Amino acid sequence: MAKKSLIQREKKRQKLEQKYHLIRQSFKKKIRSKVSPLSLSEKTKMREKLQSLPRNSAPTRLHRRCFLTGRPRANYRHFGLSGHVLREMVYECLLPGATRSSW
């Protein structure tokens, strides 16, 4: 089980990412736009505004965590579970359609 403080920190990052998502997108569109070419100084101003946003609002700082344990590694997107929890659930026949493997 992951520490509760780490899970809460991740939830805080998710809220910040949702809050600043549209603002971040608009800055990036203005920087990349080819229709109305911006001068170099205007582009640098836009980049500075983008950098002035909170660091934790960037989507790359988010981690996918296990739904049950909060483990940040070895997660399967389809199930939302980490590898060892997924394996235990398959062995207990809690996931329909998943087959056990032995090696």
Tens of pLDDT, residue by residue over 37-70, are 667 788 888 899 999 999 999 999 988 899 898 8
d(C-alpha 38, C-alpha 64), whole Å: 37
The CATH code belonging to domain 64-103 is 4.10.830.10
Mean pLDDT of 6-18: 92
The H or E element containing residue 47 is helix 40-52
Whole-number Å distance between alpha carbons of 42 and 97: 55
pTM for the full predicted model? 0.72
DSSP 33: -
Lowest-pLDDT range of 6-15, 27-36, 43-52, 84-93: 27-36
